[in-house]
């Protein structure tokens, strides 16, 4: 089991950025009004942000990073590592992390690469960036997470369209000897790779002008083409309800602590029913488990930092917080981290103007 602890790394700041356009689910006329109301109540998403074609995840991450660097007054030459965690990169090749290194005017001594994860991406990203910094004594680093999921979602898919929103985030980390360790529990079950899937456009099902663009009826109210996100709701649901609590409990045991000692559990924002069920399983009160679903929907790997920025920003800025972060979904991949933040720089959520 991938249970380990990463010492000497401090999170200095977190910023999140969303595109300008707001989509209100009450306008989702692909389904009848009554069903729409049940859907909104169950998934808990009233509105979310949609990027227009031309805006990329990296654009949102760039804005977040510029704001963070301005607040932290970091010297750009001190940043030696950039990781971009996303499933919506700028190009098929090259990696987007390099584009961000250049746009942010970081030095050529910067190590930069992408990680292709979604729901679990923030926790995985922290584990990779933290470990590299810790062993390499890298002074300063930037972790980017986020996705533009709405461009790949079929409007005529009631199981996916109302759920996803777009966002990008930047997290600034520093090598800080003596900082409280981050403790991780990371897991994978690739047999569930098709629970959340975009089937075409990769090498397995290479983009094909005859078949990839054709819409198929999957079931009532669900039509998709090969480039659209396909969600197997029940499979993801059962997986999350089974594994998240186990993962969290095992981490608590390994770290020698309990959920009572944690100020906030920040979950990946999957949907309200799922998040509330996990909260009830872990017997935590709603105030300890913040949600950003209502305003931003499911924002993939951005959802944990976005929830921190939009729901508990003032507490994070004012003092010390003991946090448990847990991401779970596409892969299937899941993981949790226990960490402590201290006077985080946490600007109010940024809005990226339409091109």
Partner 1 sequence: MNISDFIAKVEAEFEDVEPGTLTPSTILKEAFTWDSVNALIFLAHVNVEYDVEISANELIEAVSINDLYELVESKLIKIA
Are 45 and 163 in contact by the 8 Å Cβ rule? The answer is yes
d(CA 171, CA 306) in angstroms, rounded, equals 11
Residue 281 binding partner 1, by CB under 8 A: yes
Q: How far is the CB of 238 from partner 1 (least distance, A)?
A: 6
Q: Residues 132-171 vs partner 1: string with x where CB under 8 A?
A: ---------------------------x------------
* Interacting span for partner 1 (CB under 8 A) from 15-23, 37-45, 186-194, 302-310: 37-45
Are 334 and 304 in contact by the 8 Å Cβ rule? The answer is no
Q: How far apart are the first and last CA of the chain?
A: 45
Helix residue spans in 302-352 (DSSP H): 303-311, 313-318
Residue 35 binding partner 1, by CB under 8 A: yes
CA angle 193, 183, 62 (to 5 degrees): 65
Residue 280 binding partner 1, by CB under 8 A: yes
d(CA 275, CA 287) in angstroms, rounded, equals 13
Residue 242 binding partner 1, by CB under 8 A: yes
Going by C-alpha positions, the residue among 208, 222, 217, 196 that lies closest to residue 329 is 196
Residues 6+ away with beta carbon under 8 Å from 221: 30, 31, 156, 157, 158, 159
**Can you say how many angstroms the Cα of residue 325 is from the centroid of all Cα atoms in its chain?**
11
Three-state SS annotation for 250-265? HHHHHHCCCHHHCCEE
Q: How far is the CB of 263 from partner 1 (least distance, A)?
A: 24
Please pick, from the candidates 42, 188, 212, 225, the single residue that binds partner 1 as defined by CB under 8 A: 42
Among residues 232 and 340, whose Cβ is nearest to partner 1? 232
Q: How far is the CB of 35 from partner 1 (least distance, A)?
A: 7
d(CA 92, CA 29) in angstroms, rounded, equals 34
Site for partner 1 (CB under 8 A): how many residues?
19
* Interacting span for partner 1 (CB under 8 A) from 122-130, 205-213, 273-281, 315-323: 273-281
* Interacting span for partner 1 (CB under 8 A) from 8-16, 33-41, 66-74, 167-175: 33-41
Among residues 48 and 180, whose Cβ is nearest to partner 1? 48
Q: Is the peptide bond before 191 cis (omega within 30 degrees of 0)?
A: no
* Interacting span for partner 1 (CB under 8 A) from 115-123, 165-173, 200-208, 274-282: 274-282
Residue 38 binding partner 1, by CB under 8 A: yes
Give phi and psi for 62, each to the nearest 5: -60, -50
d(CA 154, CA 134) in angstroms, rounded, equals 42
Residue 234 binding partner 1, by CB under 8 A: yes
Among residues 72 and 241, whose Cβ is nearest to partner 1? 241
Q: How far is the CB of 243 from partner 1 (least distance, A)?
A: 11
CA angle 51, 147, 76 (to 5 degrees): 100
Please pick, from the candidates 188, 249, 277, 311, the single residue that binds partner 1 as defined by CB under 8 A: 277
d(CA 99, CA 121) in angstroms, rounded, equals 19
Please pick, from the candidates 107, 135, 211, 238, the single residue that binds partner 1 as defined by CB under 8 A: 238
Residue 194 binding partner 1, by CB under 8 A: no
Residue 191 binding partner 1, by CB under 8 A: no
Residue 273 binding partner 1, by CB under 8 A: yes
Q: Which residues make up the interface to partner 1 (CB under 8 A)?
A: 35, 38-39, 41-42, 159, 233-235, 237-238, 241-242, 273-274, 276-277, 280-281
């Amino acid at each position: 089991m991938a249970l380990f602890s990463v010492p000497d790394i401090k999170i200095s700041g977190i910023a999140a950025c969303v595109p300008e356009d707001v989509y209100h689910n009450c306008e989702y006329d692909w389904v009848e009004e009554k069903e729409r109301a049940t859907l909104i109540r169950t998934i808990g998403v009233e509105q979310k942000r949609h990027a227009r074609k031309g805006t990329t995840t990296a654009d949102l991450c760039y804005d977040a990073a510029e704001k963070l660097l301005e607040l932290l007054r970091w010297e750009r030459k001190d940043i030696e590592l950039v990781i971009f965690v996303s499933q919506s990169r700028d190009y098929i090749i090259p990696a987007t992390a390099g584009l961000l290194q250049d746009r942010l005017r970081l030095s050529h001594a910067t190590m930069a690469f992408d990680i292709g994860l979604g729901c679990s991406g923030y926790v995985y990203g922290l584990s990779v960036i933290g470990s590299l910094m810790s062993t390499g004594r890298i002074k300063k680093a930037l972790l980017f997470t986020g996705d533009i999921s709405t461009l790949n979602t079929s409007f005529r898919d009631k199981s996916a369209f109302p759920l996803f929103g777009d966002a990008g985030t930047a997290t600034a980390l520093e090598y800080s000897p003596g900082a409280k360790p981050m403790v991780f529990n990371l897991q994978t079950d690739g047999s569930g790779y098709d629970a959340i899937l975009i089937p075409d456009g990769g090498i397995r099902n290479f983009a094909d002008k005859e078949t990839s663009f054709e819409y198929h009826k999957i079931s009532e109210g669900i039509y998709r083409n090969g480039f659209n996100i396909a969600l197997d709701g029940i499979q993801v649901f059962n997986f999350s309800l089974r594994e998240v609590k186990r993962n969290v409990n095992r981490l608590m045991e390994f770290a020698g602590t309990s959920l009572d000692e944690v100020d906030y559990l920040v979950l990946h924002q999957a949907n309200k029913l799922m998040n509330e069920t996990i909260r009830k399983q872990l017997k935590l009160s709603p105030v300890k488990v913040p949600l950003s679903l209502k305003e931003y929907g499911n924002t993939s790997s951005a959802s944990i930092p976005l929830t921190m920025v939009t729901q508990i920003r003032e507490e994070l800025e004012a003092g010390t917080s003991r946090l448990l972060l847990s991401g779970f979904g596409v892969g299937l991949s899941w993981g949790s981290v226990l960490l402590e933040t201290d006077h985080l720089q946490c600007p109010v959520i940024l809005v990226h103007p339409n091109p």
